Amino acid sequence: MTATGALAKFQERLAHRAAEWARRRNGADRLPLSLGRRRLYILPTRAGIGFGGLVFTMLAAGLNYTNSLALLLTFLLAGFALVAMHECHRNLLGLSLLEAAAQPMFAGTTGTLCLTLENASRLPRYRIEAALDGPPSLALDLPASSRGKIELAIPALARGLRRIERLRISSSHPFGLFRVWTWIHAPIEVLVYPRAAGSLPLPADRGVRSGTWPRGTAGADEWLGLRPFRDGDSPRQVAWKAYAREAPLLVKEYSSSGSPLRLLSLEDARQADLESRLAQLARWIVDAEADGSLYGLELPGAQLPAHRGPDHRHRCLSALALFGT
């Protein structure tokens, strides 16, 4: 093993032990969470170490040559560093993390974890950063008595329920001489759908089958529910009563009795392995929702009746994501 490889391995082991120590010290967290003094850590940055070395050199030179002006400048710079350290620590002290949530995503894509931060103090906070294990995100400035959001990229490698073990919130304001940070160990879960892939066409229309068609009068449009308003929707379909109760602008959604009915099952996805079959089913669900078909899902031990709409699409894809886990 080369010296570089040994050093990288040592740094990785040291970081792992530090993370375990922080987890044991802070324990499990629950949101919303306010950052207190006990959980904040602060160390000088590389620039801060260089600044400290410069101040020490000036101190040694001033003492050696008994130069009062050099000593005065040295003490002024040392006081400047102490004030910068205090301000850096204050920049995170009392900050609140209200929420950490992510929308479901497909495997093989990159999703977004949205953090909602609150600054309840009367002083602004600058350059608040957040990260998982990689480099920090873009810095966020929080004015006094305000809230803000930071979005973190999450790579989704495999389907299932991904648990985010910890978050890092940090700041190096002001001047970048010190960095203050904290680790947050909150129960954050992100649902990852199977990758929507496959070349097989949608199964043919199965027609009306008992127990799969939404109940209603034959020949009439079937009530499906409400969905968000989209450009091009008719004003006559808007749920004005719900809008009058300060709800978002929603549209009443119906399905025609002549809509295709498709029953999607694991057996119809003729693929070599389970993950490929689930990917094909996810592709069919996305396509069936796009063309307005009524579709149901049949899995071993689970059956979802035929329906359509964003909620039904989410239920079907969630069943695929958690199948066998």
pLDDT on residue 120: 93
Q: How far, in Å, CA of 4 to CA of 77, rounded? A: 36
Same-domain check for residues 170 and 289: no
Same-domain check for residues 238 and 276: no
pLDDT over threshold 90, residue 27: no
Number of structural domains, the chain? Answer: 3
Same-domain check for residues 291 and 244: no
pLDDT on residue 230: 67
Same-domain check for residues 123 and 103: yes
Q: How many CB atoms lie within 10 A of CB 90?
A: 17
Same-domain check for residues 98 and 109: yes
pLDDT over threshold 90, residue 82: yes
CA distances from 298 to 283, 288, 315, 319 (A): 15, 15, 12, 10
Question: pTM of this prediction?
Answer: 0.74
Residue 249 lies in a domain: yes
pLDDT on residue 128: 95
Same-domain check for residues 250 and 264: no
pLDDT on residue 229: 73
pLDDT on residue 26: 76
Interval 154-185: pLDDT, tens:
888 889 999 888 899 999 999 999 999 999 99
pLDDT on residue 25: 80
Same-domain check for residues 244 and 109: no
Same-domain check for residues 51 and 185: yes
Same-domain check for residues 21 and 145: yes
pLDDT over threshold 60, residue 219: no
Same-domain check for residues 74 and 176: yes
Interval 110-147: pLDDT, tens:
889 999 999 999 999 999 999 987 777 778 999 999 99
What is the span of the domain harbouring residue 235? 222-255
The end-to-end CA distance of the chain, in Å, is: 38
User: Which residue would you say has higher pLDDT here, 213 or 21?
Assistant: 21
Interval 235-248: pLDDT, tens:
777 887 777 776 77
Could you tell me if 214 and 224 are in contact, meaning their C-beta atoms sit under 8 angstroms apart? yes
pLDDT on residue 113: 92
pLDDT on residue 95: 95
Same-domain check for residues 88 and 138: yes
Residue 202 lies in a domain: yes
pLDDT on residue 210: 36
- Helix and strand totals (H; E) in the chain: 6, 17
Residue 5 lies in a domain: no
Same-domain check for residues 181 and 301: no
Residue 41 lies in a domain: yes
